[in-house]
Amino acid sequence: MWRDSVLVAGKDLRIELRSRVVLNQVIPVAALTLVLFAFALGPDRAPMTRAAPGLFWVAVLFATVLAVQRSFGLESTEGARDGLRLSGLDPAGVFLGKAAAIALELVVLEGLLTVGVVVLYGSHVRAPGALAAACVAGTAGLAAAGTLYGALASGLRVRETLLPFLLLPVVAPVLLAGTRVWQVALGIQAGSPQDPWLRLLLVFAAVYLCLGVVIFGPLQEAS
Protein backbone atom coordinates (compact mmCIF):
# COMPACT_ATOMS: atom_id res chain seq x y z
CA MET A 1 0.00 0.00 0.00
CA TRP A 2 2.76 2.49 0.94
CA ARG A 3 4.80 1.70 -2.17
CA ASP A 4 1.71 2.23 -4.32
CA SER A 5 0.85 5.49 -2.57
CA VAL A 6 4.37 6.85 -3.18
CA LEU A 7 4.09 5.83 -6.84
CA VAL A 8 0.71 7.54 -7.31
CA ALA A 9 1.70 10.68 -5.39
CA GLY A 10 4.91 10.90 -7.42
CA LYS A 11 2.96 10.56 -10.65
CA ASP A 12 0.39 13.22 -9.70
CA LEU A 13 3.06 15.66 -8.49
CA ARG A 14 5.17 15.12 -11.60
CA ILE A 15 2.12 15.90 -13.75
CA GLU A 16 1.49 19.02 -11.67
CA LEU A 17 5.08 20.16 -11.99
CA ARG A 18 4.79 19.68 -15.75
CA SER A 19 1.36 21.25 -16.28
CA ARG A 20 1.49 23.82 -13.44
CA VAL A 21 -2.28 23.98 -13.19
CA VAL A 22 -2.24 24.42 -9.42
CA LEU A 23 0.51 27.02 -9.61
CA ASN A 24 -0.99 29.02 -12.46
CA GLN A 25 -4.70 28.62 -11.74
CA VAL A 26 -5.58 27.31 -8.29
CA ILE A 27 -3.21 29.49 -6.26
CA PRO A 28 -4.19 32.70 -8.14
CA VAL A 29 -7.90 31.91 -7.58
CA ALA A 30 -7.31 31.48 -3.84
CA ALA A 31 -5.24 34.67 -3.70
CA LEU A 32 -7.94 36.53 -5.63
CA THR A 33 -10.50 35.39 -3.07
CA LEU A 34 -8.46 37.08 -0.35
CA VAL A 35 -8.02 40.26 -2.40
CA LEU A 36 -11.72 40.47 -3.30
CA PHE A 37 -12.76 40.03 0.32
CA ALA A 38 -10.29 42.77 1.23
CA PHE A 39 -12.07 45.06 -1.24
CA ALA A 40 -15.49 44.01 0.06
CA LEU A 41 -14.57 44.67 3.71
CA GLY A 42 -13.39 48.20 2.95
CA PRO A 43 -10.28 50.17 3.81
CA ASP A 44 -10.60 49.78 7.58
CA ARG A 45 -8.17 47.11 8.78
CA ALA A 46 -10.07 46.07 11.93
CA PRO A 47 -12.86 44.07 10.24
CA MET A 48 -10.34 42.54 7.84
CA THR A 49 -8.11 41.39 10.69
CA ARG A 50 -11.10 39.91 12.52
CA ALA A 51 -12.33 38.11 9.42
CA ALA A 52 -8.88 36.94 8.29
CA PRO A 53 -8.99 33.41 9.78
CA GLY A 54 -12.38 32.61 8.24
CA LEU A 55 -11.43 34.09 4.88
CA PHE A 56 -8.20 32.09 4.86
CA TRP A 57 -10.08 28.82 5.33
CA VAL A 58 -12.80 29.75 2.81
CA ALA A 59 -10.05 30.37 0.24
CA VAL A 60 -8.44 27.03 1.15
CA LEU A 61 -11.79 25.25 0.76
CA PHE A 62 -12.35 26.68 -2.72
CA ALA A 63 -8.82 25.73 -3.66
CA THR A 64 -9.41 22.20 -2.37
CA VAL A 65 -12.37 21.77 -4.71
CA LEU A 66 -10.24 22.90 -7.66
CA ALA A 67 -7.30 20.70 -6.67
CA VAL A 68 -9.51 17.64 -6.27
CA GLN A 69 -11.19 18.29 -9.61
CA ARG A 70 -7.79 18.57 -11.23
CA SER A 71 -6.55 15.38 -9.56
CA PHE A 72 -9.47 13.30 -10.83
CA GLY A 73 -9.54 15.13 -14.14
CA LEU A 74 -6.16 13.50 -14.82
CA GLU A 75 -7.76 10.09 -14.54
CA SER A 76 -10.69 10.91 -16.80
CA THR A 77 -8.62 11.46 -19.95
CA GLU A 78 -9.31 8.69 -22.45
CA GLY A 79 -8.80 5.37 -20.68
CA ALA A 80 -6.69 6.62 -17.77
CA ARG A 81 -9.35 5.70 -15.22
CA ASP A 82 -9.56 2.16 -16.57
CA GLY A 83 -5.78 2.14 -16.71
CA LEU A 84 -5.53 2.98 -13.03
CA ARG A 85 -8.03 0.25 -12.16
CA LEU A 86 -6.20 -2.27 -14.34
CA SER A 87 -2.79 -1.29 -13.04
CA GLY A 88 -3.11 -3.65 -10.10
CA LEU A 89 -2.35 -0.84 -7.65
CA ASP A 90 -3.77 -1.26 -4.17
CA PRO A 91 -6.84 1.04 -4.02
CA ALA A 92 -5.83 2.14 -0.52
CA GLY A 93 -2.44 3.10 -1.96
CA VAL A 94 -4.12 5.03 -4.78
CA PHE A 95 -6.27 6.87 -2.23
CA LEU A 96 -3.34 7.76 0.02
CA GLY A 97 -1.18 8.75 -2.95
CA LYS A 98 -3.78 11.06 -4.45
CA ALA A 99 -4.61 12.53 -1.04
CA ALA A 100 -0.90 13.10 -0.30
CA ALA A 101 -0.37 14.90 -3.62
CA ILE A 102 -3.40 17.13 -3.03
CA ALA A 103 -2.26 17.80 0.56
CA LEU A 104 1.20 18.82 -0.57
CA GLU A 105 -0.26 21.24 -3.12
CA LEU A 106 -2.57 22.68 -0.47
CA VAL A 107 0.27 23.14 2.02
CA VAL A 108 2.19 25.22 -0.54
CA LEU A 109 -0.97 27.21 -1.20
CA GLU A 110 -1.59 27.76 2.52
CA GLY A 111 1.97 29.04 2.99
CA LEU A 112 1.39 31.65 0.30
CA LEU A 113 -2.07 32.52 1.63
CA THR A 114 -0.67 32.99 5.14
CA VAL A 115 1.73 35.59 3.75
CA GLY A 116 -1.25 37.17 1.97
CA VAL A 117 -3.26 37.31 5.20
CA VAL A 118 -0.39 38.98 7.04
CA VAL A 119 0.28 41.49 4.25
CA LEU A 120 -3.29 42.24 3.10
CA TYR A 121 -5.18 42.01 6.38
CA GLY A 122 -2.42 43.17 8.75
CA SER A 123 -2.66 40.06 10.92
CA HIS A 124 0.03 39.24 13.50
CA VAL A 125 0.95 35.63 14.12
CA ARG A 126 1.09 35.04 17.91
CA ALA A 127 1.28 31.23 17.93
CA PRO A 128 2.95 29.98 14.74
CA GLY A 129 3.03 26.39 16.05
CA ALA A 130 -0.75 26.28 16.45
CA LEU A 131 -1.17 27.93 13.07
CA ALA A 132 0.98 25.29 11.42
CA ALA A 133 -0.67 22.43 13.33
CA ALA A 134 -4.11 23.62 12.22
CA CYS A 135 -2.90 23.82 8.62
CA VAL A 136 -1.39 20.32 8.67
CA ALA A 137 -4.38 18.67 10.37
CA GLY A 138 -6.93 20.65 8.36
CA THR A 139 -5.14 19.96 5.10
CA ALA A 140 -4.97 16.22 5.82
CA GLY A 141 -8.71 16.19 6.46
CA LEU A 142 -9.52 18.28 3.40
CA ALA A 143 -7.31 16.16 1.13
CA ALA A 144 -8.73 12.88 2.47
CA ALA A 145 -12.36 13.98 2.24
CA GLY A 146 -11.73 15.62 -1.14
CA THR A 147 -10.15 12.47 -2.56
CA LEU A 148 -13.03 10.36 -1.34
CA TYR A 149 -15.71 12.62 -2.80
CA GLY A 150 -13.64 13.19 -5.92
CA ALA A 151 -13.68 9.43 -6.55
CA LEU A 152 -17.40 9.35 -5.87
CA ALA A 153 -18.10 12.09 -8.41
CA SER A 154 -15.47 11.09 -10.97
CA GLY A 155 -17.62 8.63 -12.91
CA LEU A 156 -20.50 11.06 -13.31
CA ARG A 157 -21.12 13.38 -16.22
CA VAL A 158 -21.97 16.25 -13.86
CA ARG A 159 -18.87 15.80 -11.68
CA GLU A 160 -17.64 19.39 -12.02
CA THR A 161 -20.79 20.84 -10.49
CA LEU A 162 -21.58 17.94 -8.18
CA LEU A 163 -18.24 17.85 -6.38
CA PRO A 164 -18.54 21.25 -4.61
CA PHE A 165 -22.13 20.44 -3.73
CA LEU A 166 -21.06 17.18 -2.08
CA LEU A 167 -17.76 18.29 -0.60
CA LEU A 168 -18.32 21.75 0.84
CA PRO A 169 -21.00 20.78 3.42
CA VAL A 170 -18.91 17.79 4.53
CA VAL A 171 -15.79 19.86 5.18
CA ALA A 172 -17.66 22.55 7.13
CA PRO A 173 -16.13 21.23 10.42
CA VAL A 174 -12.67 22.02 9.00
CA LEU A 175 -13.75 25.56 8.20
CA LEU A 176 -15.20 26.00 11.68
CA ALA A 177 -12.37 24.39 13.65
CA GLY A 178 -9.60 25.84 11.49
CA THR A 179 -11.04 29.31 11.88
CA ARG A 180 -11.27 28.95 15.68
CA VAL A 181 -7.67 27.75 16.01
CA TRP A 182 -6.48 30.57 13.77
CA GLN A 183 -8.43 33.16 15.74
CA VAL A 184 -6.49 32.12 18.84
CA ALA A 185 -3.20 31.82 16.98
CA LEU A 186 -3.59 35.32 15.51
CA GLY A 187 -4.55 36.76 18.91
CA ILE A 188 -8.08 37.68 17.82
CA GLN A 189 -9.62 35.52 20.52
CA ALA A 190 -8.30 34.44 23.91
CA GLY A 191 -7.80 30.78 24.72
CA SER A 192 -5.52 27.85 24.10
CA PRO A 193 -5.11 26.82 20.49
CA GLN A 194 -4.85 23.22 21.63
CA ASP A 195 -8.48 23.33 22.75
CA PRO A 196 -11.14 21.03 21.25
CA TRP A 197 -10.96 22.71 17.84
CA LEU A 198 -7.50 21.41 17.01
CA ARG A 199 -8.55 17.99 18.27
CA LEU A 200 -11.60 18.19 16.02
CA LEU A 201 -9.32 18.82 13.04
CA LEU A 202 -7.20 15.80 13.97
CA VAL A 203 -10.24 13.56 14.45
CA PHE A 204 -11.73 14.72 11.14
CA ALA A 205 -8.49 13.89 9.33
CA ALA A 206 -8.15 10.51 11.04
CA VAL A 207 -11.76 9.53 10.29
CA TYR A 208 -11.56 10.43 6.60
CA LEU A 209 -8.14 8.86 6.13
CA CYS A 210 -9.37 5.59 7.64
CA LEU A 211 -12.64 5.78 5.71
CA GLY A 212 -10.77 6.38 2.46
CA VAL A 213 -8.38 3.47 2.97
CA VAL A 214 -11.35 1.16 3.51
CA ILE A 215 -13.90 2.32 0.94
CA PHE A 216 -11.87 3.88 -1.87
CA GLY A 217 -11.60 0.52 -3.67
CA PRO A 218 -15.34 -0.22 -3.80
CA LEU A 219 -15.97 3.42 -4.67
CA GLN A 220 -13.50 3.27 -7.55
CA GLU A 221 -15.16 0.14 -8.91
CA ALA A 222 -18.68 1.49 -8.54
CA SER A 223 -18.16 4.96 -10.00
Partner 1 sequence: MAPAVLLRAAVALTERFPALAGVDLVVAQGEAVVLEGPNGAGKTSVLRACAGLLPVTGGEAWVLGCDLRRDRTAARRVVGLLGHAVALYDDLNVVENVRFAVRAMGADAAGVDDALGRLGLVGRLRRTEVGRLSAGQRRRVALAVLVARRPSLWLLDEPHAGLDAATRDLLGSLVAEALAAGSSVLLASHEPERAVPLADRVVSLAGGRVVGERPGGRAGGAQMGDPARAAPVRPAGPARPPGATDAPVDSPGRAAASARGGVHVA
**3 state SS of 79:** coil
Taking contact as CB under 8 A, which single stretch among the options 11-19, 60-68, 121-129, 163-171 is the one that binds partner 1? 11-19
Which phi-psi region, left, alpha or beta, contains residue 199 (left: φ > 0; alpha: ψ -120 to 50)?
alpha
CB 110 within 8 A of CB 22: no
**Does 50 participate in binding partner 1 (rule CB under 8 A)?**
no
Taking contact as CB under 8 A, which single stretch among the options 37-45, 79-87, 155-163, 170-178 is the one that binds partner 1? 79-87
Restricted to residues 59-78, the positions that interact with partner 1 (CB under 8 A) are: 74, 77-78
**Does 158 participate in binding partner 1 (rule CB under 8 A)?**
no
Pick 45 or 85: Cβ nearer partner 1:
85
154: exposed, middle or buried (Cβ count in 10 Å: 0-12, 13-18, 19+): buried
Single out the residue of 115, 105, 114, 92 nearest to residue 139, CA to CA: 105
CA-to-CA separations, 76 to 82, 85, 210, in angstroms, rounded:
9, 12, 25
Instruction: Give least dist CB 75 to partner 1, A.
Output: 9
Residue from the set 40, 80, 115, 214 that interacts with partner 1 by CB under 8 A: 80
182: exposed, middle or buried (Cβ count in 10 Å: 0-12, 13-18, 19+): buried
Pick 19 or 161: Cβ nearer partner 1:
19
Restricted to residues 16-35, the positions that interact with partner 1 (CB under 8 A) are: 18-19
Instruction: Give least dist CB 157 to partner 1, A.
Output: 13
**Does 83 participate in binding partner 1 (rule CB under 8 A)?**
yes
Instruction: Give least dist CB 18 to partner 1, A.
Output: 5
Distance of CA 148 to the CA centre of its chain: 12
# residues near partner 1 by CB under 8 A: 22
**Does 2 participate in binding partner 1 (rule CB under 8 A)?**
no
Which phi-psi region, left, alpha or beta, contains residue 69 (left: φ > 0; alpha: ψ -120 to 50)?
alpha
Binding site for partner 1 (CB under 8 A): 4, 7, 11, 14-15, 18-19, 74, 77-80, 82-89, 217, 221
